[in-house]
Structure 1
C-alpha cells in the first residue's frame, strides 16, 4: 500500500505593492498600499529579474556596474526601488502603519545567494532550500484542483520558483560573456544564449575571429 500520494499544487504570491517609495542613503523606504502584486503583469519572473538586477562590484579601486556571476557588492538603489515597486518588498520591515524599510545590504546578500545558486553552487542551493521551508502556507483549493501554496513573502516565492526551475534544469547562464542579463530560463533543450541578440553577436564574433586567424596564417606563410 502506498504511504504517499501525488497531489497537484499551485503557488500564489499575495504580497502588497508600495503606494510610494523613496531612496534614502541607498536604502528604499516607502508605504505599502492596498494593491496586491499581480504576476500576470510581470514581463519576466521575479527570480530571473532579481538575479539580473545590476550591482556595483566593490573589489576594485572603482565601482563597476555589473551583473556577472559570483560578483557581490553594492546594490544599485534605483534598480532596487524599481524592483520593489513592481514586485513588492523582498525583506522589508513593515510597521503597523504600513511604512517599510528595504535594507539594501540584505537585498544584495539575497541577490548574491541567488546568483551563486543559479551558477550551480550546491551550498547556495541548499541554503535557499532551508530558507524557504517556514514561510509557506498550504491549504486545500478546489479551484487549484489540489493544494494551493501561498505566501506574502516575496523572497520565499522567489526561492520556490528558483528551486522548481533549477530542478527542471532550466536555470542557465548566457554564454555571451558580455551579456547584461546573463541569468535566464531555458526555453528549449540546448539553448545557450538568453536571446537571439546574444546568439547573433557571438556568431558574428566567432566569424570575425576565424577571419582574423586566417589572415594571420596567410601573412605568416
Structure 2
C-alpha cells in the first residue's frame, strides 16, 4: 500500500521530468518519522533546471526530481507513522506548536489531507536551516494546490522545499492524503477518486 501510493503520486508529480520512468522503490524502512520509502531514480536530473532567457532573466524549472521524492518520502512516512492514516482535527494547531519557527502562531489553512505534506515541508525547512528572519505569512489552498507564502530571509534550499510542497500538493488529495488530481466543478480542488464526487480531472 505505501509503495503503491508513493509511486502513484511520484509518477504524476514527475510527469515532466526526464528519467521519471527510472524511479523504483528499493525498500520501506522504519525511521523516527515513520515508514520511509527508500527509492532509486538513476536517470533523474539531480539539479533544478535553470535557463537564461534571451534579453535577461532566468527561467526556473520545476523542483528537481530527487527533492520531490525526498519530500514525498517524508510526507508518506508521517502519514503512515501510526498505521492506517488518521488526521487529528487539530492537526494545524499541532503543526504550529511543533514547528513554531516555520509556521509562526498559526498553522496551514487547508484540508487535512495535506497535513503530512505540510509537516514534511516544515521538517525539510528545519533540516535545511531556518533563516534568521524567516516567516510564513500564509499557507493555504489556491486553484487546487497549496500556496506557501513567506517573508523575510530565505535561501535557495528553503525556496526549493517550498516549491516542492506546492508542486506535490497538486497530486495529493486535500481531503485524505491519497493520490489525487486537480478537478473541475465550481472551484478547482485536488481530490482522490473517492472524494471527487463525480468531478473530472482537469487534465482529461
More relative contact order, 1 or 2 (CA 8 Å, 6+ apart): 1
TM-score normalized by structure 1?
0.28
TM-score normalized by structure 2?
0.30
Q: Which of 1 and 2 has greater Rg?
A: 1
Larger strand fraction of residues:
1
